[in-house]
């Protein structure tokens, strides 16, 4: 899939070059690709997360796979821990990342299908730098209520695309988590171990629901 | 960078106020909003939302002008005109159907556009998360509101109270699931709310455009190419 799209956009690029019409107004290929990546993800989310017949555990498993495939989990986890990442030992980092993944998967399994659902429509893209694109999208709501704005920050090396952040109505998932987690670390005397302990309790609590 | 700073010198007092607000929310606002959402059909709730939004138009218009956003001011004016007339007192958002989309503005945002810093985080009683700049904004918006002026000039003081109450229930009913989710998934709900408030305000001030300068995770690419970490991340498929 990726390969074919790559070929098509390469072909498109070649045509533009031949015509000498490669104007800056044309969205760059990573912007087009990022947009296609989000659209494909939305389709996948609808197919595998919204089926009523699947039990919650099963949907959690599916979302875990999708989360690892589509999100830059390690980069996000590192950002969320902020300056405490450097202070954490190798073992702490490992356990933290595993618990972080758990927390994300169990908290967002139901929400994600809604955010990346059928009613998602992409409004525009904006290249932030040569490896990051923001995809602006909206989800329509029934009954004429105002649509919800969702921005996807996508990172890429040119071939692989991963989500770095999801910004819902101006609220970044990563920034909110970072404030939340760093507050916990501070309240535990600057120790990551305290955060890990609380994450353990929290994820156990959410899983048992 | 400001978004990630704590800047909350009154944190203990703010946390205390947060608990008071939460108790009030749990005993009054949330149950009322939950019932309202369960009982009133979508159709009715959307119309009430529309009326409230339409009533805000004069204040939004004034702030559009004060920010020098004349095109947006014209949009606000046109929406108010269309929705108040054809839309029957603002009940129907005809303007949006005509693709004249609405937006919100307030005096706190105007001050921000004028270069006023937000200042330290403050948890207000009843009004919730704020800061000195936005608190001044709340007061100014209240004072310049034509509906409020009319009500106080004609001694109909119940009008602003009724409207504030309806506004609170309307907004709360829109945020029931979001806030429940945040409370459920956060370790420190207060810190999460504080962050959420700051981000929402920054978003409102930028009129939803966001900014590339807002700190966010990155793949850690260096000028010479992706770092080892980015390479590792990208190979994890």
Comparing alpha-carbon positions, the chain A residue that sits nearest to B193 is A176
Which residue of A85, A96, A172 to mutate against B (max B Cβ within 10 Å)?
Answer: A172
Nearest CA-CA partner of A203 in A98, A81, A106, A72: A106
Q: Report helix, strand or coil for B113.
A: helix
- Share above pLDDT 70 across residues of chain B, in percent, rounded to a whole number: 88
Name residues whose C-beta falls within 8 Å of residue B28's C-beta, 6 or more positions apart in sequence: none
Least confident of A70-84, A102-116, B105-119, B214-228: B214-228
- Residue A136 CB contacts under 8 Å (≥ 6 apart), including other chains: A122, A123, A124, A125, A126, A149, A151
Tell whether the model's pLDDT for residue A4 goes beyond 70: no
Average pLDDT of span B149-164: 91
pLDDT at B195 over 90: yes
- Computed over every residue of chain B, the mean pLDDT equals 89
CA gap B145, A33 in Å, rounded: 47
- Locate B18 and state its tokens: 């947060």
pLDDT score recorded for residue A46: 81
Task: Give the pLDDT confidence score for residue B151 in this predicted structure.
Answer: 93
Residue B226 pLDDT > 90: no
Q: Characterise B207 by phi-psi region: left (phi > 0), alpha (psi -120 to 50), beta (else).
A: left
Residue B233 has pLDDT above 90, yes or no: no
Distance between terminal CA atoms of chain B? 32
Contacts of A198 in chain B (CB under 8 A): 187
Q: For A99-130, write each residue's pLDDT tens digit.
A: 999 999 988 887 777 766 667 899 999 998 88
Query: Chain A neighbours among B 78-97 (CB < 8 Å)?
Result: 93
Q: Does B175 or B230 have the greater pLDDT score? A: B175
What pLDDT was estimated at residue A52? 67
Q: CB-based burial of residue B70 (10 Å sphere; 0-12 exposed, 13-18 middle, 19+ buried)?
A: exposed
Q: Is A29 on the interface with B (CB under 8 A)?
A: no
- The rounded distance, in Å, linking the Cα atoms of B32 and B38 is 10
Indicate the pLDDT class of residue A165, thresholds 50, 70 and 90.
Answer: very high
Which residues in chain A are closer than 8 Å to B190, comparing Cβ atoms?
Answer: 183
Which residues have CB under 8 Å from B3's CB, separation 6+? Answer: A175, B195, B198, B199, B202, B214, B215
Q: Is B227 on the interface with A (CB under 8 A)?
A: no
Residue numbers of B between 171 and 190 with CB closer than 8 Å to A: 181-182, 184-188, 190
pLDDT higher than threshold 80 for residue B229: no
In eight-state DSSP terms, residue B114 is: T
Alpha carbons B206 and B193: distance in angstroms, whole number? 20
Nearest CA-CA distance, residue A49 and chain B, Å: 18
Q: DSSP secondary structure string, A117-181? A: STTEEEEEEEEEETTEEEEEEEE--GGGPPPEEEEEEEEESSS-EEEEEEEETTEEHHHHHHHHH
pLDDT range class, residue A139, cuts 50, 70, 90: confident
| B200 part of contact set with chain A, CB < 8 Å | yes
Among B68-72, B151-155, B220-224, the range of highest mean pLDDT? B68-72
- In the three-class reduction of DSSP (H, G, I as helix; E, B as strand; rest coil), residue B207 is classed as coil
Mean pLDDT, residues B33-41 taken together: 96
Cβ distance A82 to B199 less than 8 Å, yes or no, reads no
- Subunit contact A202:B187, Cβ cutoff 8 A: yes
Do residues B120 and B132 make contact, with C-beta atoms less than 8 angstroms apart? yes
pLDDT of residue B236: 54
Buried b (16+ CB within 10 A) or exposed e, A120-148: bebeebbebeebbbbbbbbbeeeebebeb
The span from the CA of B204 to the CA of B109, in Å, is: 7
All residues of chain B having their beta carbon less than 8 Å from the beta carbon of residue A68 are 236
pLDDT of residue B5: 66
B126 touching A (Cβ < 8 Å): no
Q: Is the pLDDT at A176 greater than 80, yes or no?
A: yes
Query: A143 vs B43: CB contact, 8 Å cut-off?
Result: yes
A123 phi, psi to nearest 5 deg:
-95, -45
Tokens of B26: 């749990």
Q: Tell me: pLDDT of B172 over 70.
A: yes
8 A C-beta contact, residue B188 and residue A201:
no
| Measured distance CA(B122)–CA(B131) in Å, rounded | 5
Residue A185 CA to residue A191 CA, distance in Å, equals: 6
Cβ atoms of residues A152 and A38 within 8 Å: yes
Residue A143 is predicted with a pLDDT of 63
| Residue A69 with chain B: CB contacts under 8 Å | 237
- Span A7-53, pLDDT tens digits: 445 544 444 444 444 444 456 789 999 999 999 998 888 887 777 66
């Amino acid at each position: 899939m990726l390969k074919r799209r790559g070929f098509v956009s390469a072909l498109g690029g070649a045509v533009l070059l031949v015509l000498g019409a490669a104007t800056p107004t044309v969205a760059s290929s990573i912007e087009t690709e990022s947009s296609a990546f989000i659209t494909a993800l939305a389709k996948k989310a609808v197919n595998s997360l919204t089926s009523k017949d699947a039990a919650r555990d099963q949907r959690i498993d599916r979302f875990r796979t999708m989360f690892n495939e589509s999100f830059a989990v390690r980069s996000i986890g590192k950002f969320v821990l902020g300056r405490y990442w450097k202070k954490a030992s190798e073992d702490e980092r490992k356990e933290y990342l595993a618990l972080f993944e758990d927390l994300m998967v169990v908290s967002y399994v139901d929400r994600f299908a809604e955010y990346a659902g059928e009613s998602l429509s992409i409004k525009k893209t904006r290249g932030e730098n040569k490896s990051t694109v923001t995809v602006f999208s909206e989800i329509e709501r029934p009954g004429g209520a105002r649509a919800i704005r969702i921005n996807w920050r996508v990172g890429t090396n040119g071939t692989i695309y991963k989500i770095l952040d999801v910004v819902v109505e101006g609220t970044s998932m990563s920034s909110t988590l970072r404030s939340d987690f760093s507050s916990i670390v501070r309240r535990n005397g600057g120790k990551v171990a305290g955060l890990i302990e609380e994450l353990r309790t929290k994820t156990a609590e959410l899983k048992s629901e | 960078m400001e978004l990630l700073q704590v800047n909350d010198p009154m944190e203990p007092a703010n946390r205390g106020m947060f608990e008071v607000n939460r108790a009030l929310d749990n005993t009054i606002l949330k149950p009322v909003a939950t019932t309202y959402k369960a009982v009133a059909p979508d159709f009715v709730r959307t119309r009430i939302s529309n009326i409230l939004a339409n009533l805000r138009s004069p204040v939004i218009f004034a702030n559009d002008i004060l920010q020098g956003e004349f095109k947006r001011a014209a949009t606000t004016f046109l929406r108010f005109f269309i929705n108040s007339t054809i839309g029957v007192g603002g009940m129907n958002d005809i303007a949006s159907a005509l693709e004249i989309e609405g937006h919100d503005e307030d005096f706190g945002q105007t001050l921000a556009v004028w270069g006023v810093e937000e200042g330290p985080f403050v948890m207000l009683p009843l009004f919730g998360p704020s800061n000195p700049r936005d608190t001044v904004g709340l007061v100014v918006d209240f004072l310049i509101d034509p509906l409020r002026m009319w009500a106080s000039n004609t001694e109909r003081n119940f009008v602003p109270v009724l409207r504030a109450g309806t506004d609170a229930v309307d907004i709360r009913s829109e945020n029931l699931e979001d806030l429940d989710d945040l409370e459920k998934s956060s370790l420190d709900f207060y810190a999460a709310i504080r962050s959420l408030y700051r981000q929402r305000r920054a978003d409102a001030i930028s009129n939803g455009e966001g900014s590339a300068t807002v700190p966010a995770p990155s793949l850690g690419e260096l000028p010479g190419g992706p770092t080892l970490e980015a390479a590792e991340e990208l190979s994890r498929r």
